[in-house]
Amino acid sequence: MLSRVARPVATAAGLGRSFSGSSQCNAKVAVLGASGGIGQPLSLLLKNSPLVGELSLYDIAHTPGVAADLSHIETRAKVTGYLGAEQLPAALKGCEMVVMPAGVPRKPGMTRDDLFTTNASVVADLTEACARHCPEAMICVISNPVNSTIPITTEVFKKLGVYNPNKIFGVSTLDIVRANTFVAELKGLDPARVSVPVIGGHAGKTIIPLISQCNPKVEIPQDKLQALTERIQEAGTEVVKAKAGAGSATLSMAYAGARFAFSLLDAMNGKEGVVECAFVRSEETESPYFSTPLLLGKNGIEKNLGLGKLSAFEEKLVAEAMSELKASIKKGEDFVKNRK
Ligand code: NAD
C-alpha cells in the first residue's frame, strides 16, 4: 500500500539551515520582477513557505504564465499575477512585504554600477508605487547596484512623506551565503552550521566578510585570508563569467532572497532573536548606509547590532570601502533629487 509521502513544504529550515521556525502566518508578499532569473525561483521558494498567505507576482512580462504555473503547487499561498504598470497598484495593495529583483543583471566585464543607468529608474518607479500603495510594507531591494538603489528607495519614500528607515533593506544575504559556503569548504565544515557576518556594502571591495567573527571560530593564515576575502568580494563576478553573457547569480540569489524574506517574516510574526545582515540607513560608521547584523522584529529593524570587534585587517577593509560607498550612495540620492 502506498503510504502518504511527506510533502516537501519548505519552512525556511527546509532550505537546509535552521534560520527560521516552522510557524505559519498569512503575510501578503509581492515579488516585483517576478518573471526574471531571480524572480521565478524566488517566487517558487516563497510559494512553498507556510509563512506566505498570498503571493503577488508583478513584472512587465510573462507574469500570467508564471502565476498560473506556480498556482498549481499544493501549498496554501494564493498566487496572483499582475502585468504592466497599470496593474502595479493592485499588485501592491495590502502587501506586508515587497521583494524586488526587477531590472537588468550584469554581463561579463560590467560592474554593478554599470547597471545604474537602467536600474535606477526601474527602482525609483517601483518604490514610488510601493510608497503610494503599501507604505507600511517591508521593502527588500535585490536590484543592483544595491549601494545606490537603497538610497534611491529612501529618497523616494522621503519625498512622499512615508519614510521609515527600519523597513527598507538592501538584500546583501548572498554575500553571507557565499562567505559561509567558502569558509566551510576551506575548513571542512558543514556550511549550514557556519555563520560569517558580512558588513559594508554590496559591490566589490565594499563587501567586507568578518572572518574573525565567524561562528564557529576559524583560524585562517593571512595569505589564505586575503584570498578568501577577495573570492567572497568577487564571487558575483565568478558567476557572471561562468554564465558567459547569460546573466548573473539567479538560483543562489533566489535562495538568499528567500532566506532574508523568511527571517524577516519570522521576526514580523513575533519570533525573537532573528538576526540578518542587510544594507540599511546607518549611524554605525561615517557612511550614511552600511550593512551590519540587525536584530529584526515586528516593525523591521529592532536594533542595529553594529560592527562588533574587528581585526586590524578588517578595519583596513572598512576604511578602504568608504570612498566608493559614499560615492555610490550620493549617486543614488542625487538621482532622486534631480528627477522630475
Ligand atoms: P533578469 O533580467 O533575469 O530579470 C529581471 C526581471 O525584471 C525581468 O523579468 C524583467 O522583465 C523585470 N523588469 C524589468 N524592468 C521592470 C519594471 N520596470 N518593472 C517590473 N519588472 C521589471 O535579471 P535577474 O538575473 O533576475 O537580476 C535582477 C536584478 O537582481 C539585477 O539588477 C541584478 O543585478 C540583481 N542581483 C542582485 C543580487 C544581490 O545580491 N542583491 C544578486 C544577483 C543579482
Q: What is the pLDDT of residue 17?
A: 58
Percent of the chain exceeding pLDDT 70 equals 93
Percent of the chain exceeding pLDDT 90 equals 92
Distance 132 CA to ligand 1 centre (A): 22
Is there a common fold for 27-171 and 173-330?
no
3-state secondary structure of 338: coil
Q: Is the pLDDT of residue 1 over 70?
A: no
Q: What is the pLDDT of residue 25?
A: 79
Residue 183 φ/ψ, nearest 5 degrees = -65, -45
Q: Is the pLDDT of residue 233 over 60?
A: yes
Q: Which residues contact 303 (CB under 8 A, 6 or more apart)?
A: 294, 295
The more confident residue out of 39 and 6 is: 39
For the segment 239-267, the average pLDDT, to the nearest whole number, is 97
Q: Identify any residues that bridge with 195 across adjacent strands, giving them in sequence order.
A: 215
Closest CA to 186 of 158, 160, 211: 211
Task: Tell me how far apart the alpha carbons of residues 324 and 148 are, in angstroms, rounded to a whole number.
Answer: 11
* Class of 27-171 in CATH: alpha beta
Q: Whose CA is nearest to atom 34 of ligand 1?
A: 105
Atom of ligand 1 lying closest to residue 102 CA: 7
Atom of ligand 1 lying closest to residue 247 CA: 25
Write down the mean pLDDT value for the chain: 94
Atom of ligand 1 lying closest to residue 248 CA: 25
Task: Tell me how far apart the alpha carbons of residues 163 and 150 are, in angstroms, rounded to a whole number.
Answer: 12
Distance 257 CA to ligand 1 centre (A): 12
**How many Cβ atoms sit within 10 Å of the Cβ of residue 27?**
23
Q: Is the pLDDT of residue 207 over 80?
A: yes
Q: Whose CA is nearest to atom 30 of ligand 1?
A: 143
Task: Tell me how far apart the alpha carbons of residues 256 and 16 are, in angstroms, rounded to a whole number.
Answer: 12
Q: Whose CA is nearest to atom 2 of ligand 1?
A: 104
Domain ranges of the chain: 27-171, 173-330
Atom of ligand 1 lying closest to residue 35 CA: 9
How far, in Å, are 12, 272, 303 from residue 52 at the CA level? 11, 19, 25
User: Hey, CA dihedral for 328, 330, 331, 333, is it positive or negative?
Assistant: positive
The more confident residue out of 284 and 12 is: 284
Distance 256 CA to ligand 1 centre (A): 14
For the segment 275-303, the average pLDDT, to the nearest whole number, is 98
Task: Tell me how far apart the alpha carbons of residues 272 and 91 are, in angstroms, rounded to a whole number.
Answer: 30
Name the CATH topology of 173-330. Answer: L-2-Hydroxyisocaproate Dehydrogenase; Chain A, domain 2 (3.90.110)
Q: Is the pLDDT of residue 314 over 80?
A: yes
19 confidence band (pLDDT: 50, 70, 90): very low
Closest CA to 241 of 121, 76, 108: 108
How far, in Å, are 175, 197, 233 from residue 307 at the CA level? 16, 9, 18
**How many Cβ atoms sit within 10 Å of the Cβ of residue 190?**
10
Distance 3 CA to ligand 1 centre (A): 42
Q: What is the pLDDT of residue 5?
A: 39
Task: Tell me how far apart the alpha carbons of residues 12 and 263 are, in angstroms, rounded to a whole number.
Answer: 8
Residues flanking ligand 1, CB < 6 Å: 32-33, 35-39, 59-61, 101-106, 115, 119, 122, 125-126, 142-144, 146, 171, 174, 202, 247-250, 253
Quote the radius of gyration of the chain (alpha carbons, Å): 19
Q: For the CA atoms of 233, 112, 105, 116, what is the dihedral angle to 10 degrees?
A: 160
Task: Tell me how far apart the alpha carbons of residues 243 and 179 are, in angstroms, rounded to a whole number.
Answer: 20
Residues acting as catalytic residues = 175, 202
Ligand 1: residue of 31, 42, 60 to mutate (most ligand atoms within 8 A of CB) is 60
Q: What is the pLDDT of residue 340?
A: 76
Which residue has cell 559591490? 203
Task: Tell me how far apart the alpha carbons of residues 187 and 78 are, in angstroms, rounded to a whole number.
Answer: 42
Q: Whose CA is nearest to atom 15 of ligand 1?
A: 103
